[in-house]
Every structure is written in structure tokens, then in C-alpha cells.
Structure 1
Amino acid sequence: MNQEQIKIADTCYELAEQKAAHYFQSLYVLVSQKAYIPTLTNDLHSWKHNHIHHYPLLSSFLRGKKKPDSQEYHNYIQWLDYTGKLEPYLDRSISYIFMRDLGKSLDSINTQTRIRRVVDSLKTHLTTGQGDKTKDFSIAGLYRWAQKEGIETTFIWLMNKLKTVSANIPKGMDAEHAQRKLIKIIAGVLMHVIEEMSSEITPAERTQKLDNAIRLGYSYGLTYPFIDDLLDSEILSDKEKKQYSNLIRTTLITGSVPKLGEWTGKTKDLIRYIHSELRSAFEYIKSHQRPETLKSFFEQSYVFFHSQEVDREKDLSNSNYTNEELYIPIILKSSSSRLIVRSVISAPEDEGFDSRTFFYGIYNQLADDFADMFDDMKEGAVTPYTYYLKYHDKRSDLINPFELYWAVISNLIHNVYHSDSKTCEVILDRAINGLKRFKERMGTEKYNEVMNLFASENPKFNRVIQRMVRKADDVDFFDKLLRDHMIVILKNERKEQDDFLSTIETVRNQINNILKIPKVENGSLLKDPIIDAANYSLEGDGKRLRPIMTWVLGVNEYGLNQTAIVPLLRSLEYMHTASLIFDDLPAQDNASTRRGRPTLHMVYNIAIAELTGLFLTQKAIEEQASLDEFDSKTVLNLIQYSAHMTELMCKGQAMDLESKGKQLTLEQLNMMCFYKTGIAFEASLIMPAILANTKEFEMEALKKFARHAGIAFQIKDDLLDVEGDLLLMGKPIGKDAENNNSTFVSILGKEGARKEMWEHYCLAMETLHEVPRNTAFLKHLLNYIVNRDH
């Protein structure tokens, strides 16, 4: 990085700073002269006619259906549709997104046409089977969308990336927030790309553009957790933060990512991962830039980064910041973050976009800072609101940020959007909605306390605003509803996942404690190698998935006595372990390690291994026959079913052996792996269902789930055999190729195998909707199956 490059970057920032200073000065005039008050008062008086309704008692009775809480996502959508409010609700919501995220002007006929198209499509989705609550926002639902668009490979790539990013977010940072932010940015980039597509675009071109959009969105989105959030956290020391910031600055000034250089200490591995991932992301964005947009991309990125750095260095204990020092950096960072998106996707120039986006940014920033002011205060962050909270009684020169917020709104409506009535409607809807949400979250007493501080200088204008906050209707927005719903989903998912992992660990320990086969004292001088060999195999570090599934379904869902089903749990693990012993034999897969230890025939000999496998199958039947707390006919049905499943498993293994060196069709491979793997999953679910005398339709749904889950499990095994980690796997990798086995990878290739795995994942997830039970455990089991490392 030479002096000339630094000078160019500094000049670029100075020009942006001058523009922001000019904008700030115009807002300062509006605030100091109170010029925004009469204008907005008139706007609000006109606006209120559509939002303050006086319903007579009889009319309220006739309307019937009570308004649900807006956080009840599906019920709220149904209520909006029932009352005829859904269409205007979606119209203002999509209009706002077109303004905020796409930088569009609402007085454009073309924009109105596009908004109408989106509203109609979204309304159809929300009010028909496509909007079924069982499919919304699920990974399976998103994969189905990716299939429709021909970007399954991109989706799989993104899932792996999000998983890796979450795994590398250190303690002290919020992994869920990072993931939400990434997804939001990817969605924003997708919106821009879709908006830029012409109606004549071919399906192949659309697929390519969507693929690029997702990868570009991910690449740009990484800057938030791995630059902004990381530098805001306490993960790095002050020295490390400076070193890391210099790396980012050098990259943006020179256009090339420098080598990491020497980095020591506990953050070494983290920084190496982040440096590698950001370098790949930067190179991807750079390679997709048109020459004419590359310069503006670097300029906007530098302005964005440097303004964040200026803002980040502020200290709340410093009482001497000027208004300009407080506001100019947030004008720059709030506008440049949105301007960059257009550069990232190399979009052509849109007349007025840069201007609208520049003036609009601070509106959103002030709204967000208002909502978060008390959290920011706890963290010691400097925002216009936290600074005013701390120093308003000591600094009479400080601009009240709440007043500035309304001045920005007035300026946007009348100077930027030229008094367009639709724009006025949407912006005021959003402003009043923001205050309503804040009041609901903080409570009336705290809200009034905040208003007494921030709005007391303009009591007449404040009375108008507070009347709207109390009485105005129809000011809520779909993106807020969606955000709240997504947060609830993610919290529930996290709790379910924690419960899943806790259950796995607890039940696994219980099962491990009941598996050991005791020796029978027979007075013989001879040793009993069969029992020793059986216990050696059972003591291996097995996942115990099959008996765990049986325990969860049997105890938690069917209410079976957990002590009563202990024999069934043993029998499942005995049968599974026997199948592994046979599978590892030289005549079959000839494996040398299993569950991280030498295989049984390597420790003893082939004959003992064969006899031990046979012994364990008989022990499994003996255990099933000892289910003495259940009706004898039910137990006989279970044993008959179990014997039939064992027959099919043997046929599956024979098919596997017969297939060595042969090229199977996908249909043959699906059948074989269902016999080998899916059958065991099915038995784990159907056996407790048999004991509970479950209805046939439910058992059929469980069988269907088990079939697809088992195939997905086998495909993941095939993938791990070619790309897994030996230490994590606990057995050699590459055995399928060595044994000349037909696998999903050998038939479909790695990419095709991944698609096939996700197809069966979706089919299994969709089948769970047919099971009239709490299926959270099975859902997370399926997630574990496709995401596991061993």
C-alpha cells in the first residue's frame, strides 16, 4: 500500500464526508427552525383519516372475529384476510421494501406494477395451500424452492457455509444473530437481482443469476459477523483489533487481500479461518464486478468501513463530541451499506437510486437506534440516542435525535420523494408502527418516560403523534411480522435442538448401562469367549440411534413404561451390533476398525466373530420374548415383525455383496440401502408403535419416514466414505472404492449424491406432517443425519 493509494482513499472519504456534512446541515436547519413541525402536522392530519376509525358497538359485534396478537403469525394472516385488510397490509409492506431495500420511487408506474405483481403472488401464497404453516420457512421448503429454480447445488453449498460459519462464531458473539443477518443480506441481494431481471430472461440465465446472487449475498454478508461484529466484540485484544482493521483497510485501498502474517495467541485459528473465508468472498465479489463498477465498489466499501471505524472508536465517557461527529459517520455508513449492494451485483445505474439511498439511510438508522437505545446504553455504545440520554442535561447544544428523526421524515417525503402521497402514507405508517412496537415492548410507563425526555420541547406536535400511537390502526408491516415469526422459530428450533441433544446424551447413557451381557457361572474351567466378544462389540462408541428413537417414541409419545421396554431397547442394539460384526468380516466388507477400535474378527478370529453375531441375534429374540408387561399376542406380533425385518436386512446385505463390481441402477441402490439401513430405522419406530397398538395409518407414515431417513443416512455414509475425517469417523475411509461397492457417490457423483440425500430429507420431513404426534425429535434426528461429521 503506497502513499498515492492512501491519498486517493482519503480523498474519496473526504468527498463523501462533505456530502454528508451538507445533508446534515440541511437537517440541522429543519430542526433548529422547527420547520418540519407544521409540514408533518398537516401530513399527519391528512394521514389519520385512513387510520383512526370510530366503530359503533353494533358494527364491532358484526365484525365478529377478534383481532389476534400480531405475533401469532398464521392466525394474524388469516384474520387480515377475513377482514379484507390483507391486500392493503401487503401493499404497504412491499412498497416499503421497494423503497428501503431497492431504492425505488413509489410514484413510478413501473414500480407500482412490480409491487402489484409481488403483492398478488404473496397473497396467493399466504391464503392457499402454498402458504401451509407446515412448509413455511423450513429447510425442506427452501430446498423445494431451490429445486424449482434449478439451484439445489447452490442451496446445499449455502447450508454447508452457514453451518461452518455458525461453528466458527466464538463465545462472546451471537451465532444465531450472525446467521439471521447473513440470511437477511442474502435475501436483500436476491431481491435486487430478481428486480433487475427482465421478463424475457431464459430459465438457464435466471438460474445462473440466482446462483450468483446467493453467493454474492453470502460473500458480502460475511462482513457483518467477521468484520463489524468481531471488531465490536471483546474477542480480540486492542492490538489484534488494530492489526485486523489494518488488514481490511489495506484490502479495500489496494484491491488485494494481504497475507495474514504473524498471528499468535488463542485467536490464531479463528483469524486464520476468517482470513481465508473473507479472502475467498472478496475474490468472488471482485471477479463478478464489471470494470465500470469496480471503482465505485471499492470506494463505497472504503467509505462504509472507515465510517464504521470512526463510529466504533467513540467512547460514551467522552462528553465533547460535536453534533457533526455524532451524525456524519452514521449518515455515511447507513447509506453506503445499501449503495454497496448495487455495486456487488454490478447493477446498471438507476437514475435517482444513489440520491434516494443516500438520504434514506439515516432514517432507518435512527429508527433502529431508537428501538435499541437501552441495550446500546448497557453496552456503552455511542449512538445519537445513548449520547443524548447521557448528556442532554449538560449539553444544550446537542441535537435531539428524536427531533432529527422527524426532520429526516419530512425531508424524505417532501424533498426526496416530492410529496408523493403513497410515499407519505408508507413512511408515516412505518414511523407510527415503530413507536407502537416500542411502547408495547417497553411498557406504557417507560415509554412515557422516554417521550417526556425526547418530545417535551414540542408538546403540541407530540400530542398529535401520541394520539396516532394510541388510536391509529392498520400501520403494521409484513417484514416485522416475518422477523418476529422467524425469531420465534429460531428460538424454538434452538430449544428443540438443545432438548434433542440432551435426550440423546441422557438416553444413550441409560442404554449403555443396560447392554452388558452378564456371564453365567457354570463351574466350567473353560472361558466364555462368546460373551466376552459380544460385550467387546457392545462397548464400542456406538451412537445408539435406533434404541434412542424407540425410547423417545415409546416413552415420550406413546406413554410406554420405560422400564417395561428395556428388553426391546437391548434387542435393537444387539441386532444392530450383530449386523455390524457380520458386515465387517473378511468375506463381506473386510473392515479393520469399527467405532474407533479394531473389529471383532481382528481381536479374536473369524469363527468367534461369526458365532458372536449369531449369538447376539438370538439374544435379541430372547429379549423381545421377555416383554412380559405387554399382551402376549402383541409381543408375538412384534417378534414376527422383527423376524421379518431381519430377513429383509439379510437380503439387503446379500444384495450388497452380490453387487460388488457391478453398476447398479439408482432404483436398485435405493432398494438395497433401504433393506440395509432403512429397515433398522423402521423397526426402531414401528416396534414401540406395535406395543402401543398404534393405528395403521400412523404406522404407514412412520414407515415412509423411516424409508427416506434411512436412505438419507446411507447417502451421508457414502459421502463420508469419500470425504470424511478418519479420526471423527472411527473407521477407515475409502472402503467402498477399495471393495468396488456401488454407492450413491459412485453412481451419481458427489454433487448428485448430495442432491439425492436432500431429496430424501425433504420427503422424510414432509412425511412427518402425517404423524399425529410431536415430531420435533425426529425432525432434529433428520437434521443430524444430513449434517453429521461421522
Structure 2
Amino acid sequence: MNVAYTDQADTGYRLAEQKAAQYFASLYVQVKEKTYVPILTEDILMWKRKHVRRYSWLSFFSSGQRKPDTRDYHRYIGWLHYTGKLDGYLDRSISYIYMRDLGKALDSPDTKASIHRMVADIKKHLLQSTKSDGGGTPDGMSLAGLYRWGQKEGIENAVIWVIHKLKQVAGHIPKEMNAEHAQRKLMKIIVGVVLHVIEDMDDSVLPAERSARLDDAIRLGYSYGLTYPFIDDLLDSGVLNEQEKEQYSHMIRTALLTGTVPKPGDWGGNNVELIRFVHAELRDAFEYIKGHQRPETQETFFEQANVFFHSQHIDRIKDLSNARYTNEELYLPIILKSSSSRLIVRSVLSAQADEGFDERTFFYGIYNQLADDFADMFDDMEDEAVTPYTYYLKYRGQRADLINPFELYWAVISHLIHNVYDSDAKTRDVILDRAINGLKRCKARIGIEKYNEIMEIFSSGNPDFNRLIQKMVRKADHVDFFDKLLRDQIITVLRNNRQEKECFSNTFSTVRDEINSQLQIKQPSDTPPMQVSLIDTANYTLEGDGKRLRPILTWVMGVNEYGLEPSAIVPLLRSLEYMHTASLIFDDLPSQDNASTRRGRPTLHQVHNSATAEITGLYLIQKAIEEQSSLVGFDASSVVSLIQYSSKRAGEMCMGQAMDLDSKGKKLTLEQLNMICFYKTGIAFEASLVMPAILAQVNEAEIALLKKFAYHAGIAFQIKDDLLDVQGDLERLGKPTGQDAENNTSNFVTILGQEGASQEMWEHYCQAVEALQEMPRNTAFLKHLLNYMVNRDS
């Protein structure tokens, strides 16, 4: 390791440590002498006037809505607006974000104007989304909402890129880690970096430059945010053993000291694949950040990154069984890691800081860290992690010298209000709002009894001051924050998505197995030899490893949504798969796509010949009609309507294939390609949805929505197929790649290019999602099917 780099990094860390020691010493004096108590008591009494209302008997007769649970996102936003509280709610929330994440002083006229604009923009968006969607995932947390924002800003490619990256990260988070919290922290960092960039731009920035800077912000945010799940959380978890943690930490420190990510080295055990993925992602992220540093900011970036990582490391390796840690050893690392984690964001962006930004950010960090450690105290105790709270709880009876972290927390608040933010009234209100809100949330989470028990311990030195605090916790109102609402909502959305995805996968697997068991065509004992041969070739094609998307979709909609009897719709399931398999046989013929492999096996014409394949395809189509006509237990006119619909759609599929064959060698327009795609692929998805709806006698308005969804979902599915044709591999796909290029066939990639095709796929994805939002039924399965379609690898 380069000695000069190491010496420079150590010098930088020592200087930061000295500054942290001076800060801690001033806080120590305030705690010991309790000088913060009278000052903060006066602050709280002034703050109380806004937040503790006197209720008169008339209030019992006043009209109004009861406050809904904050977990009901849309109703809660609607209630805030109805009661006139939304403006104040957003103002304190955005003000806090500007102070915490952007390092702004709230008394600055420019900052006030920026907050006012952002509050107005967010309010407008919230009210629009509340009107358009009475429930479900808020727009900003959905893939469709994110992509629509990307379109508006002209950064679709960056959004597509980060969606793919987030999917990869989610798929590699070990079960020992909290997946939802790891993903939330990563998304929070990306949003934070984007906010920094937006705040640095004004109306004079041209659209092209704005798009370029936002594009970079998303990629930089991901690159920096990746350190939280795959450095911070990974090292805090029990995934790696002590030797692996040491090896991993050495690798990170080497990268920060040399500016180059070392090779991963030798890894054994169960974590080899995880380390390979994490190493590759972090290496690319590191190089991306480094490549975006100006020469004059590179040194600052590496220095701050080293302070952050080294202070984290020192804090992480503490042992709760060690009773000899000094107050300085407990607090200096958290002052350094909490401040440097925010300072490094500006460094990552190579951005110019406002006057006083570094100082405000340095002093602010520990406030947030002490609040977070208080919230996580019981989890940390269970994990035997060392934080000021867990250490004090364990050793307060043995160590009279230990500083009470709860007292230090209030001393920090007093210091921030009066020494850092110059006694600004708005800053005082926002910081105290946040502090009381944190205690309210803790009380609600752990229960009154446990909360009071903890407060007895941490406030024993200041009983009068604590009584004032607890009175505010009981009586104060209007201290909720939008970012907390979003945090809870994101966790809920991620958790629900995981559960829904598991349910989707289980349903998909179970129904697929059931369908597979029903597909084989039986051979009666008196079957003529020629028909035996025909049944054998048909069964050969049906035995392939097909996804069975279409009959699965029919089963889920028919049984789960329309209440049809599972056994009664088996003929319909068979007919759909017979029709689909027949279409694949014809597609693969030498006269058409000339494919050699399908569903992981040689195509039928390769095993036999083209004539046999053609006859088998026709046979399966006739079997499909036979199955439909055998549907019993349904209204006869509905069955006739289903057969008429099926026949018409089968004819249109043939027309789509004819159009496709006629287009070979020709350059198609996007409109022509969409039409061919719908007739070839989209109709089959439509039939899977509409046919069970016909049997269930669903109304025409809902059927129209099903058709709209199927149209866009089918095209999105086909575009993904075209992308996989150039990006996929034979082993995963079960069929050769590059077929379209070899056959001189126009597709979405040849017309639009890979980036353009991806954008077109996401546009159809969004339109399919928007159709689902109008559906009067539970669409979780369809939503996850759609996500599967655009995110699949095969």
C-alpha cells in the first residue's frame, strides 16, 4: 500500500478527530453543568404556544374528520388538506430536509424561496395523485411513476438503468439482512443526491443540461448509496464471519487509500457469489464516482470517504462486553461518521458548498445519529451492538463518569439552535418538531409502559426538564413529517411487494404444475396407429419447458377474481396452451422463422419433418376447439360467445403471422410493428383475460380495460423478447439468440435500437399499469406478471 497515501489519509483523519474532540468537549461541559436546560426550557415554552392547543367545550361540537392512521397514505394526505394542515406539514417537512440533507440555513432568503416553491410543487402533486388514486402505491414509489418522471425530465435511460440496478441489488441482499431497510436506504441516498442537484439548478439551466445533470445524479446517487447495503449493512450483519469482515474491510480501505479497487482475492465458504457481485458493483460505482471528480476535489473526496469508513470501522468493532470505553471513544466516531456521511454527498457531486455548509453539516450530524440510535436502541441491545444508548444502559450503574446520551441529545439540540443556527426561530421550531415527533413515534412503537421505563432511566438527572418534555410528547400536535410518512410507506410497499411477489411465484408454480399435469393428450386403447403417432408428436411439443403464462393467467383471473370452479375451466386452460403451442410450431418452421430450438429442446420439424410439424399444429388447433366446446356448467350463450371470440382472435393471429412474414427484409414503421406485435402476441394475452371474463359474464366496461391492459402488456412482452434476442443467452432462453437478425426480421431493436426499444417497452408498461389502476378488482397478480414480463431473463 502506498505509504504517502496512507500518511495523508491518517493525517486527514487525525485533523477531523481533533475537530470532533473539540466539539465533544463543548457538549460535555453543557451536559455536566446543565447549562442547556434553562435555555432549552425557554425554547420549548415558546414552541409550545404553536403546538399545544387549549380545547374548549365548543370543540366537541365542531365538524371535522377524524385523523386517519398515517399508514393509510392517501387518506392521511386528504385529511391534512381537508383540515388545512397540509401547508404547515409540508413546510416543516421540506424545511427539515433542506437543513438535514442539503445543509442549508433556514434564515436564508434564497432557501426560504426554494422551500416555498418545493412545497407548492409537492402539494400540487399530492393532491393530484390523491384524486386520481384512492389507494395503492403512491406514484413516486411505483416503477410507472418513476418512469413517467424520467420522461418528463428527459432521463428515461437513467431511470431504466437504475430500475435494473435496484432489481439486481434486491436479488442479492442476503436473508440475514433487512431487505426492505437496505433498499430504502439506497433509494433515500439516490433521492438525496438528486435533490442536491435540483437545488443547485435554477431556471437559467437549459433543458439539455438539466437532463444531463439529473442523469449523472441518479447514477452517482446509486454509486454512493450502494455503500449502505453492501458495506455498512453487510458488515453490521452476521452474513460474513470475522475473518471475512476483516478481509472485506481491508479491501475497502485499500481502495480509499490508493484510489484503485483491489481484486477480490480468495474467498471460500458460502459467500463467494455474493462477494463477486458486490465487488463488481462497488468497483463500477467507485470508478464512476472517481471519474466524475474534478481534479481539485479528488483529494477531498478520498479524505472524507476515508474518515467516513474508518470512523464506521472503529465504531463497528467495539465490543459491548468491554466496560472500559471512554466517553471520547464512544462519541468521537459517531460525530465523525454522521457528519462525513453528509459532507461526502457534496464531494461525490463535486459541488460547490454554500458559505457555512461544512460547519453546519459537521455540527448537525450527531443530532441525527443520536435520534436514530435512540429509535434503534432495543434492536441494538438484542444484537449487542455498541451505541451510546446501549452502553449507558449496560454500564450506568458501574460507571459514574459515563455521559447520559439522552442528555447529550438535548445539549446538541440547544447547541444547534443557538450556536450553529444563530437562534433562528424557524430552525428552533423545526428541530423541536422533529425531536418531539421522534419520541412520539417511539412511544407508539414500544408502548407506554416500556417507554416510561426507559424515560425513567435516561431522564433521572433532569426530572423537571423531563416532565416538560413528556408533557409535550403527550399533548403537542402538528409534529408529523412527510419524510417519515414516505419512509413508513416505502417499507410497507417493499414488504407488500415482497409478499405479493412470493404469492405470485407460489401461485405461478402451483398452477403451472397443475396445468402441466392436464396437458398431455390421452390415447384411448382403440386409437388408430396414425393418430397415435400424431398424438405423440403433439405431446412432444407440450412436454417442453413452457412458461404456461396464458393458461396460468386464465386460471388466476377465472378462479381468484371471477370465482369460477377450477375443475370447470380445465378445458379452457388446455385449449389456450394447445393454441399457443400450435402457433409456436408454425413460427419455427423453415418457411417462417426456421428455429432449431424451442423450450430448451429441438423443434418439432428438426425431430421429424416440416409436414409432420404442420399437421401436428393443425391437430392441436382442432383439439383446442374441441376443448372449448366441452366446457360445461356455464351459460350456453356464454360458451358460444367464447368460441366465436376465440375463433376470431385465432384468425387475427394468423393475419399477424402473415404480416410478419410479409415484412421480412422490409423496414417497418413503429406503428406497423405495434400492429404485427399485437396480432401475433398481444391477442393471446387478451384471450387469456377475456375468455374467463366471458364465462363469468363480466360487463363490457371491464372487458375493455382487460383488452387495454393486454394490448400494452403484450407489446411490452414482445419488446422484451426482442431485447433478449440480442442480450440473452441460449441456456436461459431455451432458444437461440440473434434469430431476428439472421432472418432479416424487423423488430423493436432493429427499428429503435436497444435504448429506444427499452424506452418503448417501459412506455407500454406504464400504459398497462394505468389500465390496471382503473380495474375494479385486485390486480396484484397482473401487476407482478407485468413486472415479470419486463424484468425476466428468459
Could you tell me the TM-score, scaled by structure 1's length? 0.98
Deviation of the 1:213 alpha carbon: 0.4
1:651 paired residue number? 655
Report the alpha carbon displacement of residue 222 of structure 1 after superposing the two structures with TM: 1.1
Alignment partner of 1:671 is 2:678: no
Measured in 2, the distance between the counterparts of 1:734 and 1:240 equals: 42
Are positions 1:735 and 2:750 aligned together? Answer: no
Alignment of 1:744 with 2:748, yes or no, is yes
Q: Which amino acid aligns with 2:731?
A: L
Matched residue SS, 1:473: coil
AA of the residue aligned to 2:620: L
Within the candidate set 507, 512, 515, 1:511 is matched to 515
After TM superposition, give the deviation of residue 524 of structure 1 in Å.
Answer: 4.9
2:293 is matched with 289
Aligned counterpart, 2:63: 63
- Amino acid of the residue matched to residue 277 of structure 2? Y
- Please name the residue that 1:73 is paired with: 73
- 2:407 matched residue in structure 1: 403
- Aligned match of 1:380 in 360, 370, 384? 384
| 3-state DSSP of counterpart to 1:266 | helix
1:150 correspondence with 2:145: no
Structure 1 portions without partners, runs of 5+: none
8 A contact 1:664–1:742 mirrored in 2: yes
Superposed, which structure 2 residues align to 1:224-243 within 5 Å? Answer: 224-243=228-247
Give the partner amino acid of 1:83.
T
Kindly indicate whether the alpha-carbon contact (under 8 Å) linking 2:749 and 2:757 is maintained by their aligned counterparts in 1. yes
What residue identity is the alignment partner of 1:772? P
- Out of 782, 790, 794, the residue aligned to residue 786 of structure 1 is 790
Preserved contact between residue 301 and residue 336 of structure 1 (Cα < 8 Å):
yes
Question: Of 513, 520, 524, which residue of structure 2 is paired with 1:520?
Answer: 524
**C-alpha distance 132-361 of structure 1, shift in aligned 2 (>3 A):** farther
Aligned to 1:428: 432
Q: Is the 8 A contact 1:125 1:131 kept in 2?
A: no
Show CA shifts across 1:644-674 (max 9, x none): 0000000111111111111111111100010
Gap change, CA 1:392 and 1:528, over 3 Å in 2: same
Q: 2:600 aligns with which of 591, 596, 599?
A: 596
Say if 1:17 and 1:328, in contact at 8 Å, map to a contact too: yes
Q: Measure, in 1, the Cα distance between the counterparts of 2:370 and 2:84.
A: 33
Where does residue 684 of structure 2 map in the other structure? 680
User: Deviations along 1:531-554, whole A, 9 cap, x unmatched?
Assistant: 011111111111111011111111
Whichever residue aligns with residue 671 of structure 1, its letter is M
- Asked if residue 356 in structure 1 is aligned to residue 357 in structure 2, the reply is no
Matching residue within 165, 168, 173 for 2:169 = 165
Question: What letter corresponds to residue 2 of structure 2 in structure 1?
Answer: N
Distance 1:681 1:329 in 2: 57
User: Contact 1:555–1:561 (CA<8 Å) still a contact in 2?
Assistant: yes
Correspondent of 2:278 among 270, 274, 279: 274
After superposition, the Cα gap between the structure-2 partners of 1:523 and 1:212, relative to the gap in structure 1 and judged at 3 Å, is: closer
Please say if residues 39 and 410 of structure 1, whose CA atoms lie closer than 8 Å, have aligned partners that are also in contact.
yes
Offset at residue 770 of structure 1 (A)? 2.0
Q: Which deviates more from structure 2 when the two are superposed, residues 699-708 or residues 627-636?
A: 627-636
Verify: 1:444 aligned to 2:448, yes or no. yes
Q: CA deviation at 1:508?
A: 0.7
1:540 to 540, 544, 549: 544
Query: How far apart in 2 are the matches of 1:630 and 1:677?
Result: 28
Residue 10 of structure 2 is matched in structure 1 by: 10
Segment drifting more, 43-52 vs 231-240: 231-240
Residue 770 of structure 1 aligns with which residue?
774
Residue 92 of structure 1, CA deviation? 0.7
- Judged with a 3 Å threshold, the aligned counterparts in structure 2 of structure 1 residues 485 and 33 are, in CA distance, closer, same or farther, namely same
| CA offset digits 1:27-67 (Å, max 9, x no partner) | 00000001111011111111111111112232232132111
**C-alpha separation between the residues in 1 aligned to 2:83 and 2:178?**
39
Where does 1:694-705 land on structure 2 (aligned, <5 Å)? 694-705=698-709
1-structure distance, mates of 2:219, 2:148: 19
Shift of 1:527: 6.9
The answer for the alignment partner of 1:463 in structure 2 is: 467
Give the 5 Å matches for 1:180-219.
Answer: 180-219=184-223
**Partner residue of 1:631 out of 625, 632, 635:** 635
Q: Which residue of structure 2 lines up, in the alignment, with residue 26 of structure 1?
A: 26
Aligned runs of 1:558-573 on 2, under 5 Å? Answer: 558-573=562-577
Partner SS for 2:565: coil
Count of residues paired in the alignment: 790
- Report SS of the residue matched to 1:513: helix
What is the match of residue 104 of structure 2? 104
**Between 597-606 and 444-453, the greater mean CA deviation after superposition:** 597-606
Shift of 1:130: 7.4
Q: CA deviation at 1:505?
A: 0.8
* SS at structure 1 position matched to 2:737: coil
Q: Return the alpha-carbon distance in structure 2 between the equivalents of residues 525 and 766 of structure 1.
A: 53
Write the distance in 2 (CA, Å) between the matches of 1:525 and 1:269. 53
- Tell me, yes or no, if the aligned pair for 1:564 and 1:629 is still in contact at 8 Å: yes
Mapped to 2, the partners of 1:431 and 1:182 lie a distance apart of 24
Residue identity opposite 1:5 in structure 2:
Y
Supply the AA of the counterpart residue of 1:141. G
Q: Please tell me the residue identity of whatever aligns with 2:263.
A: K
Q: For residues 435 and 177 of structure 1, what CA distance do their matches in structure 2 show?
A: 21
Partner of 1:93: 93
- Are residue 328 (structure 1) and residue 337 (structure 2) matched? no
Give the Cα–Cα distance (whole angstroms) in 2 for the partners of residues 525 and 296 of structure 1: 82
Instruction: Please list, as runs of the form range in 1=range in 2, the aligned pairs for 1:243-322 lying within 5 A after superposition.
Output: 243-322=247-326
Quick one: which amino acid aligns to residue 295 of structure 2? P
CA–CA separation in structure 2 for the residues paired with 1:700 and 1:521: 46
Instruction: Report the secondary structure of 1:418's partner residue.
Output: coil
Whole-angstrom CA distance in 2 between matches of 1:346 and 1:132: 40
Conservation of the 8 A alpha-carbon contact between 1:716 and 1:757: yes
Q: Distance in 1 between matches of 2:131 and 2:157?
A: 25
Deviations 1:574-627 (CA, angstroms, capped at 9, x unpaired): 111111111111111111111111111122222221111111100110111011
Question: Tell me, what secondary structure is at the counterpart of 1:517?
Answer: coil
SS of 2:566's equivalent? coil
CA distance in 2, matches of 1:736, 1:109: 60
**Residues 585 and 28 (structure 1), Cα distance of their counterparts in 2 relative to 1, 3 Å cut:** same
Amino acid at match of 1:287: G
For structure 2, the residue ranges without an aligned partner over 5 or more in a row are none
Query: 1:141-171 CA deviation, whole Å, 9 max, x = no partner?
Result: 1100000000000011111111112222233
Corresponding position: 1:490 with 2:490:
no
Aligned to 2:582: 578
1:694-733 correspondence to structure 2 within 5 Å: 694-733=698-737
Structure 2 length-normalised TM = 0.98
| Aligned equivalents of 1:675, 1:90: Cα separation in 2 | 49
Kept after mapping to 1: 8 A contact 2:144/2:769: yes
Say which is worse superposed, 126-135 or 691-700, in terms of deviation.
126-135
Measure, in 2, the Cα distance between the counterparts of 1:524 and 1:158.
59
Aligned equivalents of 1:140, 1:488: Cα separation in 2: 18
Counterpart code for 2:125:
H
Q: What is the alpha-carbon distance in structure 2 between the residues aligned to residue 727 and residue 532 of structure 1? A: 26
Distance 1:725 1:475, change over 3 A: same
Distance 2:497 2:353 in 1: 41
Q: Does 1:42 align with 2:46?
A: no
Q: How many Å separate the matches in 2 of 1:65 and 1:237?
A: 54
1:61 alignment partner AA: F
In structure 2, give the amino acid aligned to 1:35: T
1:197 corresponds to which letter in structure 2? M
- What is the Cα deviation at residue 264 of structure 1? 3.8
CA distance in 2, matches of 1:525, 1:121: 74
Out of 650-659 and 323-332, give the one that drifted further.
Answer: 650-659
In structure 1, what is the equivalent of residue 765 of structure 2?
Answer: 761
1:199-257 Cα offsets, whole Å, 9 max, x none, are 20000000000000001001111111221122222222322222221221121112222
